[in-house]
Amino acid sequence: SQEEKRALVGFELVGRVKYEYDIELIKGKYFLLKTPKESPIVYKNIKFLPVSITRNFFIAKIECLLDCKCPEELKLCEHELWHYIMKEKGWLKFYSNCIQAKYINYKPKEYLEMRNRLYTVYRKKLQEICKIENWIKIER
């Protein structure tokens, strides 16, 4: 049922860039992020906007996390592919600002070393796996 496929709710992460979109894979090109078109669903006076990609502040069902794995070698460049896999498998995602957290800019040395490879090593690997020339394009 549709209720069983509700998998994830992303929340507001204050101090981070908005990243609630609908995602498409444009073959050979990039991931296209578009403004969500569906109307919010209201449940117990809380609005939930249907989306297909959110920021990394969310709660999710364990079965959807187990069902939607990305290649380990992507490390920090899995975000778009992971959300795209979830969409393709029919998992439903939402965004709500009913819970908010403040982003804490804590980046230890090990994280920074890995993060610095995001735009080179890991991005190239993502492009190889997805057979795309670029990474993302945001439609405004």
For each of the chain's 140 residues, which pLDDT tens digit applies? 777 899 999 999 999 999 999 999 999 999 999 999 999 999 999 999 999 999 999 999 999 999 999 988 887 889 999 999 999 999 999 999 999 999 999 999 999 998 888 888 999 999 999 999 999 999 98
Assess contact for 34 and 53: CB atoms under 8 A.
Answer: no
Residue with tokens 């078109």: 37
Pairing of strands 6-14, 58-60: antiparallel
For the chain, domain boundaries: 6-138
